[in-house]
Structure 1
Amino acid sequence: MGVVSERLRCCVCGGSTDGAEDYVLVELTAQCSDARQWLGAHAEHLNSVLAEGFSVEVHQI
């Protein structure tokens, strides 16, 4: 899960992701900086706001 030690709230709905089977963790970086931002989301919610042609799939490992 990267440097995030606990589940984050869904960045789309603001709801809890505890126990969600479709939880995804997204890392954002900037080319001109070492800054990193982590976002948690329900995959279904993230898919609802992504541009056409982009989608998130959850694979259990």
Structure 2
Amino acid sequence: MKSLGYEHLRRHDLRHTGLTWMADTGVPLHVLRLIAGHGSLHTTSATSTPTCTPSSAPANPSAPT
């Protein structure tokens, strides 16, 4: 990461971001646990908190309103 100019970014941060983005799209927690290789759902839920709720996310952002 440092060689790319991202001194502040760690691989672990990208892993967390990926899990969060997947949670945002509705990937079930038990599937995220398998992807992450976590031993428990508790660990996964602590590291992949969705950042939006289905009601606040547009179903089709390109659809006319």
Structure number having the greater helix percentage = 2
Could you tell me the TM-score, scaled by structure 2's length?
A: 0.20
Q: Which has the higher strand share?
A: 1
Q: Which has the larger radius of gyration?
A: 2
Give the TM-score taking structure 1 as reference length. 0.21
